Amino acid sequence: MYAVGEQDDHEDIFPVVENEGGGHWQAPADLERRLYKLTAVDESYTYLRALAHHGVYHPMPIEQTTRAPGERRLWTSEVTGSDGVVRTMTQVYTDGVLPPPHPYVVYEFITLGTLADVVPPEVDVLVVNAATPCQVMFQVDDEEREVWSDLHEELFDPEGLLNRVVTRFTGAPGSGPLLHGLACGAHLCYYNGDPWNTLDWHGAGYSSEVERLEDFWDVGDREDWLEIQQRLLECEVSPWYWDFVLGARLALRKEHGDRGPVDAGLWRDCVESTLRRVVEAPEGAEFETFIADMREMVGKILRYEARFRADGLLGPDETVRTIAAWDLGRGSKMARWGRGARYATRAEMYDALQRVSAGVRGTYTSWAEFSAAYVMGRCLHFDDEHFGDWYTSVLEAHHALTRAPRSPWNTVPFQLPTS
């Protein structure tokens, strides 16, 4: 259990969002801004359609939750209306209004279609975004449940929420290492359709965040998270020989006064001769195969760089110097995933993001250079020169993040002012 989270302040179990001044409300994100406008004109059906498209989150005691949405028992409470009638209600929320992660109460993602099936039969009222300026109540009966199911079938598409730049209008940290560290995870935020600038991380819901870490990172508890987070921050997850090969080119450039491109044959020979000099016990067929693979990696990097130039990832004379971005970019998201899965305290997440920021700023000179290195890492890890979805999807993210007005790369300076 998330006992470590007791170190954090966690007074708010449910969101409480006030509209100070009673005038125009600054909604936290695009969805809540739209819902707020719909409440003003009493467009409850259009409001429901938005919920069907995006899905909602419901609170659960952490010890009672399960990965199967259909098996969850939603919280209910009784309220007395102005007419004196006691009604049973349950509440759900949209992503933008959720409170900071709590150690004992988590928020699970659920679609409107599943909600129609799991809302207990005794519930009379569904309250959406309770105690916020975009609150709406729906009477729950068989006809209403059927409407939810139909809207879900018509509108919900999980892939429709991916591949987009999502920026929070409120609640983000101010300019500085924290915001910069969040921006370093922009590739993955774009791919997953996540807000890039929020510290109150719920992601795809508590159980999905736990499952993500277990399935893709073999992280099953706090100790696992601490280990992988540290290795990402120290750039020790990616194979050492990627940067070794790139480092050989940097050494040759320095030796020859950085005059133009390094000859590929000379680069390969430098890689081989250095390996034979520094690797202990360089004997046997296995080592010779490794030497051949490292010589071939020179060609692979050159071919990727040529494609990057053709696709606008690199300038005509630019190259990738180091692939540290691949670990540091993922380290930015790992900090948030750990928080969402209740493996990390707020302070640990903050520290990891600040270290990511320092590592990126100390290694690269621009968001574009950082991005090209990140893409190279992803390609060497997954693509194997197929130039398939592993490449085209992150290329799309690069161009979107470069062009979108609210992208972190257009709103967060790469180098921070010195104090």
pTM: 0.94
Which strands, in side-by-side order, build the sheet including 86-92?
77-80, 86-92, 125-128, 136-139
pLDDT tens, 313-323? 999 999 999 99
Answer yes or no: is 416 within a domain: no
- The position carrying tokens 């470069």 is 402
Answer yes or no: is 263 within a domain: yes
Residue-level length of the chain: 419
Examine the fold and report which residue of 277, 310, 343 is the final residue of a domain before the chain moves on. Answer: 310
List helix spans (H) across 234-366: 240-255, 264-278, 285-310, 324-340, 346-363
Closest CA to 341 of 147, 182, 205, 190: 205
Q: In angstroms, rounded to a whole number, what is the distance separating the alpha carbons of residues 232 and 332?
A: 9
Asked whether residue 199 falls in the same domain as residue 341, the answer is yes
The whole-number average pLDDT for the span 19-30 is 80
pLDDT at residue 87, rounded to an integer: 92
Main-chain phi, psi angles of 218, to 5 degrees: 55, 35
Per the rule left: phi > 0, alpha: psi between -120 and 50, beta: everything else, 105 is beta
Asked whether residue 230 falls in the same domain as residue 362, the answer is yes
Answer yes or no: is 367 within a domain: yes
Q: In angstroms, rounded to a whole number, what is the distance separating the alpha carbons of residues 402 and 396?
A: 10
Answer yes or no: is 374 within a domain: yes
Answer yes or no: is 111 within a domain: yes
Asked whether residue 332 falls in the same domain as residue 280, the answer is no
* Alpha carbon 351 to chain centroid, angstroms: 17
Given a cut of 70, is residue 398 above it in pLDDT? Answer: yes
Q: How confident is the model at residue 5 (pLDDT cuts 50, 70, 90)?
A: low
Q: What angle in degrees, to the nearest 10, is found between the helix axes of 324-340 and 206-217?
A: 140
Examine the fold and report which residue of 267, 282, 310 is the final residue of a domain before the chain moves on. Answer: 310
The Cα diameter of the chain in Å comes to 87
Given a cut of 50, is residue 251 above it in pLDDT? Answer: yes
Is the Cα torsion angle 348, 353, 163, 236 positive or negative in sign? negative
Given a cut of 80, is residue 10 above it in pLDDT? Answer: no
Asked whether residue 28 falls in the same domain as residue 97, the answer is yes
Say if CB 392 and CB 307 are below 8 A apart: no
Examine the fold and report which residue of 102, 126, 156 is the final residue of a domain before the chain moves on. Answer: 156
Asked whether residue 116 falls in the same domain as residue 10, the answer is yes
Q: In angstroms, rounded to a whole number, what is the distance separating the alpha carbons of residues 325 and 235?
A: 8
The whole-number average pLDDT for the span 31-35 is 97
User: Could you tell me the residue range of the domain that residue 249 belongs to?
Assistant: 240-310
pLDDT tens, 105-148? 999 999 999 999 999 999 999 999 999 999 999 999 999 999 99
pLDDT tens, 366-390? 999 999 999 999 999 999 999 999 9
pLDDT at residue 6, rounded to an integer: 58
Q: How confident is the model at residue 64 (pLDDT cuts 50, 70, 90)?
A: very high
Asked whether residue 40 falls in the same domain as residue 53, the answer is yes
Answer yes or no: is 170 within a domain: no
Neighbour-count burial of 22, counting CB atoms closer than 10 A to its CB (0-12 exposed, 13-18 middle, 19+ buried): exposed
Number of domains in the chain: 3
Asked whether residue 306 falls in the same domain as residue 329, the answer is no
Asked whether residue 306 falls in the same domain as residue 334, the answer is no
pLDDT tens, 178-233? 999 999 999 999 999 999 999 999 999 999 999 999 999 999 999 999 999 999 99
The whole-number average pLDDT for the span 28-42 is 95
- Mean of the per-residue pLDDT values of the chain: 93
The whole-number average pLDDT for the span 395-409 is 96
Neighbour-count burial of 359, counting CB atoms closer than 10 A to its CB (0-12 exposed, 13-18 middle, 19+ buried): buried
pLDDT at residue 20, rounded to an integer: 62
Asked whether residue 60 falls in the same domain as residue 187, the answer is no
The whole-number average pLDDT for the span 277-286 is 80
Asked whether residue 74 falls in the same domain as residue 147, the answer is yes
Please provide the distance, in angstroms rounded to a whole number, between the alpha carbons at the two ends of the chain: 40
Given a cut of 50, is residue 1 above it in pLDDT? Answer: no
The whole-number average pLDDT for the span 274-287 is 83
Asked whether residue 149 falls in the same domain as residue 188, the answer is no
Asked whether residue 213 falls in the same domain as residue 349, the answer is yes
